[in-house]
Amino acid sequence: MAEVPRSFRLLEELEKGEKGFGDGLCSYGLDDKVDDIVEMEHWVGTIFGPGHSVHENRIYSLKIYCGKSYPQIRPEVRFSTRIAMNGVDPHTGVVNPEAVAVLREWKPSYTLMTLLKGLRSEMASPHNKKLAQPAEGSMFDN
């Protein structure tokens, strides 16, 4: 297989994201508040809280950073919406990559959609789905 360079890989992901795909429970796009968007480093994501959990009917915003070596190197993720979850810093929203499977076991074939879906299933896991949550819609200062 031809190795797809980072930028064309991200453009492909962007186009898919712009059209909207999957079940609509996770979505993402470029963070256009950033000046230098040509580099495609800064992204925003949204996760609809999984049902049968404390997150049901809540909407979570996230910030994702894809560095120069994405997808060989996993992206960095932080929640913008406050959340109580194992592996998420309660003060900053930063996701500890060693604490969630999708980042800990990251593969270059994974996409931003894989990432968001992985986080969503993590939110629904037995050790997360019953944690007391901050007020709905409150945000981290990031």
Partner 1 sequence: MAATKRILKEVERLNKDPVPGILAQPIESNIRYFEVYMDGPAQSPYEGGRFKLELFLPEEYPMAPPKVRFLTKMYHPNIDKLGRICLDILKDKWSPALQIRTVLLSIQALLSAPNPDDPLANDVAEQWKTNEKLAIQTATQWTKMYAIPPQ
Which residues contact residue 32 at a Cβ distance below 8 angstroms, ignoring those fewer than 6 apart?
A: none
Q: Does 40 bind partner 1 (CB under 8 A)?
A: yes
Window contacting partner 1 (CB under 8 A); options: 5-13, 46-54, 113-121, 130-138: 5-13
Buried b (16+ CB within 10 A) or exposed e, 26-54: bbbebbeeeeeeeebbbbbbbbbbbeebb
What is the spatial distance between Cα 11 and Cα 13, in angstroms, rounded to a whole number?
5
Of residues 63-102, which lie at the interface with partner 1 (CB under 8 A)? none
With binding defined as CB under 8 A, does residue 7 bind partner 1? yes
Verify binding: residue 37, partner 1, rule CB under 8 A: yes
Site string for partner 1, 11-30 (x = CB under 8 A): x--x---------------x
Bridge partner residues of 78 (DSSP)? 63, 94
**Minimum distance, C-beta of residue 29 to partner 1, in the bound complex (Å):** 12
Q: Is 8 in the site for partner 1 (CB under 8 A)?
A: yes
First to last CA, the chain: 39
Based on its alpha-carbon atoms, the radius of gyration of the chain, rounded to whole angstroms, reads 15
The correct pick among 23, 24, 38, 98 for binding partner 1 (CB under 8 A) is 38
Q: Which residues bind partner 1 (CB under 8 A)?
A: 1-5, 7-8, 11, 14, 30, 37-38, 40
